[in-house]
Chains A and B, each alone.
Chain A
Amino acid sequence: MLGRFIIGFDMDNVSLARVTMGTSLAFHIVFAVLGVGLPVLFSVAEGLGIWRKDAVWMDLARRWSKAFGILFAVGAVSGTVLSFELGLLWPRFMALSGSMIGLPFSAEGFAFFLEAVFLGLYLYGWNRLSPVAHWLTSIPIAVSGAASSLFVVMVNAWMNHPAGFQLVNGQVTEVDPLAAALNPATPTEDPHMLVSAYVCTGFLVSAVYAAGALRGRWDEAHKRGVAAGMTMALVAIGLAGITGDSSARFVYTDQPAKFAAMEGLYRTTRGAPIHLGGIPIDSQQRVVFAPEIPRGLSLLAAFNPDAEVKGLNEFPPADRPNPIVVHLSFDTMVGLGLLLGVLSLVFWGIAWRSRAIPQLRPLLVALALAGPASVIAMEAGWFVTEFGRQPWVVYGILRTAQAATPAPGLFITLVAFLLVYVALAVTAARLLLLFGARRRQAR
């Protein structure tokens, strides 16, 4: 009713629950990836600072940890929202799967606990602990950040490939929570998300310092900020390519409907081509405006140019994901990922030839843009996973539509959370900018 008044139509509970959950995840993941990646950077910076008695590295570690204080807090509270929303929005999903996905969630809870404890020591302990003891507290932060990511993605992997139980007449029996956590999708999905967190952190950090450099600040701190970020980015983007490739090939065998949607393949094809971009048009059953690489898809997916790739036609219309969203998201992720990989190679190539951190204006502009681009690529990857799994919330077992809550008031909840997220994002951004401004004033 309120929906009709504000946006002109009523949304059903399933759509409302999906939009609310999706917004919460998309918001949280930005803070979560920095929660995984930034501790590595400030730990290394402080270690270098202590080891070489270097004030610039120490100063960078302090700055990054201060920014991290805000980012972690927003990440922690938005993560709390998600743990509640699982039940509030999807009570039937949780009633079915709680006992199977609970163990990785519990382990993630402890990892998060340790991260919060040591972050308290790290943020407030600069003057209370010896330098080496203080540096040591950064290590559990970095380790538990990575562990959180691995544990929580196991849950998503389970939704993609439910394992570790038997379903007899709609009743779950013979639950093996370890087999559920270490399901067949975990070995490909887990590493890909972990390295993506480092990709985003690396490019975001170097983007901040590249943007500073473009405004005429090019001191030692800025050079090292760019260098540290791009070092992490270079290593991580290479690993993202490798893990992404194995993820895609796993999806080819494990979730053919998602794979068909990713590639916009409507009909089962032997020697299937790759569409580079383009828009899948349902009514024409093909992708338009897309250059094709003949046999490319079969070659990449199965290492065989004649391999058969299942099209959407193999699945009843009610079981198909939306190829427009999934294909465009997939190509966005892959396209941006390739550009980011080229950019980091070019950056380090020039740095190696000139024996200095390059200060070329076009390169700095590209670095400044690469930060947001890496986040877009990561979000697009999640769009592929999540929209590609539809119409299922637990692949092949439970439909998204059956899992949503019948509770009234979802529209108000959605609006409230949207307002809260906007307020948090705006304030966090304002504060981070304010830090930069204060530091320049102080100098």
Chain B
Amino acid sequence: MSEAGAVAAVLWLSLTAYAVLAGADFGGGVWDLFATGPRRARQRQAIAAAMGPVWEANHVWLIFMIVGLFTCFPQVFAALALSLYAPFTIALIGIVLRGAAFAFQAHVREAIGRPIEPWGAIFGAASIISPFFLGTAVGAVVAGSVRPSPGGAEFVVDSPWTAAFIADVGAFAVALCAYLAATYLMVESRGDKDLQADFRRRAVGAAIASGALGLAGLILANAGARPAFDSLTGRGLPLLLLALINGPLALLAVWRLEARLARLAVAAQVTFVLWALAVGQWPYLIRPSFTVDAAAGPTSTLTGFLIVTGVGMALLLPSLYVLFRVFKGRNPAGAEEVRLA
């Protein structure tokens, strides 16, 4: 594989890490907004306890990906910024509000024992808005709606079906985030059977919603987003088939309360979907104008980036291991806090 290919793989891996880790933090916000029933407060507490130690580290995967993109594929970054200005800006404002709202609430809960409005509602709403618009950006790229123009690049929608496909990908992203969060929270709330049952119900609901939106996406891609459809049924087909097989198995694991297995299966599901899209449109980063090799920056920069990444990961991965070991190991932070409550 060329250096550009290696960099593209690193960046897609970091997007995957962002999706399965920070995606669950967005999903946590969704379930905070829709916390209902007699255990409403405990649900919110479990979400906050699960997110607290890790959400900031999870968020950095996005920054790493953005930085890697503008370092190694500056033309692609410029094209995305020009054509998808609106969805990125909205997602960005959502990311800012969501992160700040979470930090405010976490500290306020300690100081005065209850969330301060309107930050509670902002936390939930922003957790839906950000993944939706990031999802639409992915949808627009795989649908071939980012086209070169005299000014650099523009967003073009060929038919209402294309627009429907892009919106569907956005909704699909939100549903997957909610699905991830609910299954992760099943693991974190093992010490409290009622609470775990709440999250199981939510996981089943999110599984059905994301399954439906995913299948709808396939149909819409066939109708209005041929590049995406060709990706998924071409080179991406093996991964798509894996996703189609793994989907029901993940749901079964959730249904049978196999919490750890479910967590793994749902994370794998998100990974299969993302990689089906990436592998499917290889060697294009953006169809039909930018291939991986043609859009890459100078070799010296790519080499430098891979070296920095190697050194950085050598420091980062052990640190991340310690972080997750301390807070997500046998005795997750969530379980402890919930028992205390």
Contact = CB atoms under 8 A, between A and B. Distances in A.
Contacts of B111: 431, 434-435, 438
B92 A81 contact: yes
A98 B69 CA distance: 9
Contacts of A413: 89
A110 B80 CA distance: 24
- Which of A80, A110, A120, A173 has the largest count of B CB atoms less than 10 A from its CB? A120
- Which of B52, B53, B54, B62 has the largest count of A CB atoms less than 10 A from its CB? B53
A155 to B, nearest CB: 11
B104 A113 contact: no
B322 interface: yes
A440 to B, nearest CB: 12
B104 A431 contact: yes
B112 A106 contact: no
Contacts of A103: 71, 301, 304-305, 308
B245 interface: no
B305 A121 contact: no
Contact of A109 (B63, B95, B99, B298): B63
Contact of B301 (A72, A100, A114): A100
A66 B107 contact: yes
B103 A70 contact: yes
B70 A98 contact: yes
Contacts of B300: 175-177
Contact of B97 (A86, A96, A123, A420): A420
Contact of A87 (B64, B78, B119): B78
A94 B77 contact: yes
Contacts of B301: 99-100, 102-103, 175, 177
B62 A80 contact: yes
A106 B71 contact: yes
B148 to A, nearest CB: 13
B308 A74 contact: no
Nearest to A421: B96
Given A88-B88, A98-B71, A77 B53 contact: no
A172 B74 CA distance: 12
B312 A113 contact: yes
A102 B312 CA distance: 14
Question: What's the interface size class on A, roughly?
Answer: 35 or more
Interface string B89-108: 10011011101101110111
- Which of B80, B112, B305 has the largest count of A CB atoms less than 10 A from its CB? B305
A129 interface: yes
A109 B300 CA distance: 19
A83 interface: yes
A91 interface: yes
Nearest to A164: B300
Contacts of B320: 117
A118 B54 CA distance: 10
Interface stretch (A193-201, A322-330, A404-412): A404-412
Contacts of B309: 106
Interface residues of B, number: 68
Interface in B289-337: 297-298, 300-301, 304-305, 308-309, 311-312, 315-316, 319-320, 322-323, 326-327, 333
A416 B327 CA distance: 36
B242 interface: no
B212 interface: no
A1 interface: no
Contact of A99 (B60, B71, B151): B71
B74 A99 contact: yes
B319 to A, nearest CB: 5
B64 A109 contact: yes
A178 to B, nearest CB: 7
B74 A110 contact: no
Given A106-B67, A434-B112, A95 B78 contact: yes
A121 B322 contact: yes
A116 interface: yes
Nearest to A118: B319
Contacts of A105: 67, 70-71
A188 B334 CA distance: 47
B136 to A, nearest CB: 15
A187 interface: no
B304 A178 contact: yes
20 contacts: A70-B103, A80-B99, A84-B92, A94-B78, A95-B74, A98-B77, A102-B74, A102-B305, A105-B71, A106-B64, A107-B308, A120-B53, A120-B57, A120-B323, A125-B53, A140-B319, A176-B300, A409-B86, A420-B96, A427-B104
Interface of A: 66, 69-70, 72-74, 76-81, 83-84, 86-88, 91-92, 94-103, 105-110, 112-114, 116-121, 123-125, 128-129, 140, 172-173, 175-178, 405-407, 409, 413, 416-417, 420, 424, 427-428, 431, 434-435, 438
Interface of B: 52-54, 56-57, 59-60, 62-64, 66-68, 70-75, 77-82, 85-86, 88-89, 92-93, 95-97, 99-100, 102-104, 106-108, 110-112, 116, 119, 151-152, 297-298, 300-301, 304-305, 308-309, 311-312, 315-316, 319-320, 322-323, 326-327, 333
Closest 10 pairs between A and B when the two form their complex, measured CB to CB = A102-B71, A98-B74, A73-B103, A99-B297, A110-B312, A87-B81, A95-B78, A91-B78, A120-B53, A124-B53
